[in-house]
């Protein structure tokens, strides 16, 4: 090999390690099974483009995503169908691209592909994940960022790139469908890396900063079950965005972040050059991981330029200034929809929850949600219109177009705190958990809300029905969703067909899936012994 070839070869190796991993807005997502060891323990997983988390997907506001999902799954112990939900993106006019299996589509069959095409119509921090069974707990998840060239928040930071995106998740040493009893994670992963007690000292994720600059950290919980308490030793965090919504800046040093929630926080790299622990303490976990950071568990590293390549010796902050949801207020258009009073919506929906100890199923208004074999959208397009006609029976609420809907959600359900996510909309949280009062003047807007743990309390959200289609409202603890903790709003069903002209490729999904044998549609549960 000549010197020019050698130079080219080594240059390729050097640059490959630093190549930006972001893809989009047009890209292919190959979903396949692979053995991975993000915390040092090797197990089978389902991954996107060979990695967990999957690649960052980006676009500029106003662009169109064209994301071709190729199903190469074959592991019989994991889900082999797939659908992808683009969490926080509203799919106006593209309800069929929302990716919720049983609601807006049938799963993509093994060996097949489907292109999701939809608008990047608003900027912010989002994520994508499988919305079929427990599949995303086995690895099918990753971040999305839509950048605004005219970002009104640019004044607050100097650096905003893919290297300052932080994903928080848990990891199980057993495939999700075979977890016995109540799921309890074995480790916490930050940007896909972590450690577990008694395991090897694997490499931790590193976030690099330069002293004197301000960094926009986009913190995303892509968890399946636990929530996290997030902090960085020696640094405050200025919250400027909540789930695609700019908020009036507020400075804290600790953030409780539930599944599906996202925060942009500004970190001022003004501390002495060194290494600092990034901490993500889970609410639950095996081997006491929910109570300590021993040996680098639940941790990553903030590394200043010029600091040694070593693990931090920084101390966890003792004075805590925790983020409260009631302290978050929209920077633009702060008012909640509807009249500024408790009964000020056009339609109020009161939810009631239950849990059956025998069946271990949750219920909403007396019904445990079971995804129908015919997606709700296909039922509507086939002529069904009313809640009585739509399946699953008792789990569909029809609502008219261009009305303000208030949903009152009771707190105190066992297994909480429960993060509730609404597809197709953001909502104003006019009554937060444990607030004891309403706020119609400037409540935070988001798409995942903590419904609280205080019995007798309740949370209220408001949204406007400006997006015809079936949209699921569900607990984002994935194990609770498959146990029935969900309900569907069928929004303006008589206008769905006109508002959402479905492509032929979407129409072909159900026949391909329905033709598969039942043993392909369900994973085989295996013993963990």
Q: Tell me the pLDDT tens digit for each residue of 136-164.
A: 999 999 999 999 999 999 999 999 999 99
Under 8 Å between Cβ of 355 and 362: yes
Note the residue count of the chain. 529
- Residue 374 — very low, low, confident or very high, per pLDDT cuts 50/70/90? very high
Q: Reduce the DSSP state of residue 154 to 3 states and report it.
A: helix
Q: What is the largest CA-CA distance in the chain?
A: 79
Q: Is the pLDDT of residue 15 over 50?
A: no
Give 237-265 pLDDT, tens digit per residue: 999 999 999 999 999 999 999 999 999 99
Rounded to whole angstroms, how far apart are CA atoms 397 and 491? Answer: 8
DSSP helix/strand/coil, 325: helix
Give the residue from 43, 31, 363, 67 showing the smallest Cα distance to 189: 43
Where do we find the tokens 């609280």?
452
Indicate the pLDDT class of residue 1, thresholds 50, 70 and 90: very low
pLDDT of residue 526: 86
Residue 258's nearest CA partner among 478, 486, 449 is 449
Cα(466)–Cα(253) distance, rounded to whole angstroms? 37
Rg (alpha carbons) of the chain, rounded to whole number = 23
Summarised one tens digit per residue, pLDDT across range 302-311 is 999 999 999 9
Mean pLDDT value of segment 102-115: 98
Mean pLDDT of the chain: 95
Q: What pLDDT does 528 receive?
A: 59
Q: Confidence band (pLDDT; 50, 70, 90) for 80? A: very high
Confidence of residue 91 (pLDDT cuts 50, 70, 90): very high
Using the predicted structure, report yes or no on whether residue 452 has a pLDDT greater than 60: yes
Residue 138 structure tokens: 């086995």
Per-residue pLDDT for 513 more than 90?
A: yes
- Omega before 392 cis (within 30°)? yes
CA-CA distance, 440 to 420, in Å (whole number)? 20
pLDDT at 6: 40
pLDDT at 49 over 80: yes
Give, for 16, the enclosing helix (H) or strand (E). Answer: helix 3-16
Q: Average of pLDDT values for 345-350?
A: 98
**In 206-350, which ranges are continuous DSSP H helix?**
none
Q: Is 333 helix (H, G, I), strand (E, B) or coil?
A: coil
Segment 463-491, tens digit of pLDDT: 999 999 999 999 999 999 999 999 999 99
pTM: 0.95
pLDDT of residue 20: 52
* b (16+ CB within 10 A) / e for 218-251: bbbbbbbbbbbbbbbbbbbbbbbbbbbbbbeebe
Residue with tokens 């369900």: 522
List, in sequence order, the alpha helices (H) in 83-242: none
Going from the C-alpha of 524 to that of each of 47, 260, 454, 482, the distances in angstroms are: 19, 28, 38, 16
Q: Give percent of the chain above pLDDT 70.
A: 96
For residue 25, the Cα-to-chain-centroid distance in whole angstroms is 19
Tokens of 273: 């050059």
pLDDT band at 283 (very low <50, low <70, confident <90, very high): very high
Share of the chain above pLDDT 90, in %: 95
403 in helix, strand or coil? coil
Question: CA separation (Å) from 8 to 17, 18, 105?
Answer: 15, 16, 47
């Amino acid at each position: 090999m000549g010197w020019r070839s050698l130079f080219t070869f080594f240059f390729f190796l050097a640059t490959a390690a630093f190549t930006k991993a972001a893809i989009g807005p047009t890209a292919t997502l190959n979903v396949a099974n692979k053995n991975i060891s993000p915390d040092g323990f090797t197990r089978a997983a389902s991954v996107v483009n060979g990695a967990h988390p999957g690649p960052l997907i980006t676009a500029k506001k106003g662009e169109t995503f064209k994301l071709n999902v190729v199903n190469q799954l074959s592991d019989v112990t994991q889900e082999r169908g797939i659908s992808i939900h683009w969490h926080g993106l509203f799919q106006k006019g593209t309800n069929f691209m929302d990716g919720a299996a049983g609601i807006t589509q049938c799963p993509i069959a093994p060996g097949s592909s489907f292109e999701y095409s939809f608008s990047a119509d608003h900027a912010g921090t989002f994520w994508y994940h499988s919305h079929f069974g427990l599949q995303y707990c086995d690895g099918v998840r990753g971040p999305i960022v839509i950048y605004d060239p005219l970002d009104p928040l640019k004044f607050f930071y100097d650096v905003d790139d893919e290297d300052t995106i932080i994903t928080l998740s848990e990891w199980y040493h057993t495939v999700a469908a075979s977890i016995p009893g109540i799921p309890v994670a074995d480790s916490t992963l930050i940007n896909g890396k972590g450690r577990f007690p008694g395991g090897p000292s694997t490499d931790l994720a590193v976030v690099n900063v330069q002293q004197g600059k301000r960094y926009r950290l986009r913190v995303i919980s892509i968890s399946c079950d636990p929530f996290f308490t997030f902090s960085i030793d020696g640094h405050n965090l200025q919250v400027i965005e909540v789930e695609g919504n700019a908020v009036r800046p507020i400075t804290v040093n600790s953030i409780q972040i539930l599944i599906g929630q996202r925060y942009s926080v500004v970190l001022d790299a003004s501390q002495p050059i060194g290494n600092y622990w990034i901490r993500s303490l889970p609410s639950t976990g095996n081997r006491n991981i929910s109570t300590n950071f021993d040996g680098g568990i639940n941790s990553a590293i903030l590394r200043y330029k010029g600091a040694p390549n070593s693990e931090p010796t920084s101390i966890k902050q003792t004075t805590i200034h925790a983020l409260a949801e009631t302290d978050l207020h929209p920077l633009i258009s702060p008012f909640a929809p509807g009249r500024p009073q408790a009964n000020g919506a056009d339609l109020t929906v009161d939810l009631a929850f239950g849990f059956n100890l025998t069946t271990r199923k949750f219920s909403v208004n007396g019904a445990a949600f079971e995804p129908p074999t015919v997606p709700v959208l296909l039922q509507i397009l086939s002529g069904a219109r009313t809640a009585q006609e739509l399946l699953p029976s008792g789990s569909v609420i029809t609502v008219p177009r261009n009305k303000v809907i208030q949903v009152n959600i009771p707190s105190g359900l066992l297994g909480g705190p429960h993060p509730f996510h609404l597809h197709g909309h953001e909502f104003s949280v006019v009554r937060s958990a444990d607030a004891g009062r309403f706020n119609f003047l400037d409540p935070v807007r988001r798409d995942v809300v903590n419904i609280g743990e205080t019995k007798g309390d309740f949370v209220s959200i408001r949204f406007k029905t400006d997006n015809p289609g079936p949209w699921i409202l569900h607990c984002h603890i994935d194990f609770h969703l498959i146990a029935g903790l969900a309900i569907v709003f069928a929004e303006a069903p008589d206008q769905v067909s006109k508002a959402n002209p479905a492509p032929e490729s979407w129409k072909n999904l159900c026949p391909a899936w329905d033709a598969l044998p039942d043993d392909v549609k369900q994973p085989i549960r295996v013993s963990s012994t």
